Amino acid sequence: MNTTTPLQVVTALRADPQLPHGTDERLTGYGVMGIPFASGHVLALRDMLANSVGPPYRAIWHRDPEGRWTIHTTTDPDCSCPRWFGAGAAVDRVDSIDVSWVDDSTLEVTLGDLLHWRVALVASPSTRIMTTMGGAMPAAAWTSNTVLASMGPMARAMLGVGRVRLRGRTPNGQWFKAAPLHVWRVGTSEATLAGEDLGDPAPLDSQARLGDFWLPQRGIFFAGDARFIPVTPSSEDEAPVDVEVAR
């Protein structure tokens, strides 16, 4: 059974962030994969501790109840989340995003006076199984299209978070491959955005996504890696996707 706490995993990552091997565009870090709120807002956090195309950075993704996305990033958009997802979102370059840990399983995220967000994490039998599986898989499995395609439906069934894709197309056109090596559930979360209380976490009527990346219908915290591969004539053929863009 996995008994490592979220803070222990994050502390180890911060001490020695290692990118996965390869020539793709790669990231290593942790964050909140996504939390939908009863008000219709969605928040996500990325704290990328190693970045093959630029410096480490933090980013907050926000989707408002009308479906408009904004990505707040602490570094150049060309070498952070907007590089891959910016076609579906407005982009806001910010000076800093603060992340602090209250205890081993609770973090607070602050974006100036705009956002104050607390997230309390819990382990469950399903997250323990997923984390154990992730740790046991060889590195090559996390780049296998077949393995990643099968893991999405498995995660959906085990975690009850709605549709999950660990491989697909970003709004900017690259392929992504996600490797969440550690996962926890969000037990509780409170957030105030521009003075508005976002309410309790709750599934949306229609699950949110950016390209083929689906934001979970229940809050999930992760630590792991991501890869992005430009589309070339030699890329394997895959059905086109409908991109949910900011309106």
d(CA 77, CA 37): 26
Reply yes or no on whether the pLDDT at 246 is more than 70: no
Write down the pLDDT at residue 235: 57
Positive or negative, the Cα torsion across 56, 58, 63, 64?
Answer: negative
pLDDT (0 to 100) of residue 135: 86
State the pLDDT at residue 234.
61
pLDDT tens readout for residues 49-78: 999 999 999 999 999 999 999 999 999 999
- Distance in Å from the first CA to the final CA of the chain: 45
DSSP E strand stretches across the chain: 25-36, 42-51, 57-63, 69-73, 90-93, 98-103, 106-111, 115-122, 167-169, 175-193, 196-197, 209-210, 213-214, 220-229
Contact between 28 and 21 under an 8 Å Cβ cutoff? The reply is no
Q: Are 48 and 28 a contacting pair, CB within 8 Å?
A: yes
169, 211 in Cβ contact below 8 A? yes
Question: How far apart are alpha carbons 70 and 91 in whole angstroms?
Answer: 6
Q: How many CB atoms lie within 10 A of CB 198?
A: 23
Per the listing, tokens 């390209």 go with 211
What average pLDDT is seen over the chain?
A: 93
Instruction: Say which residue the tokens 């570094």 belong to.
Output: 75
175-229 per-position pLDDT tens digit: 999 999 999 999 999 999 999 999 999 999 999 999 999 999 999 999 999 999 9
Residue 1: its pLDDT value, please? 41
Structural domain spans, the chain: 6-229
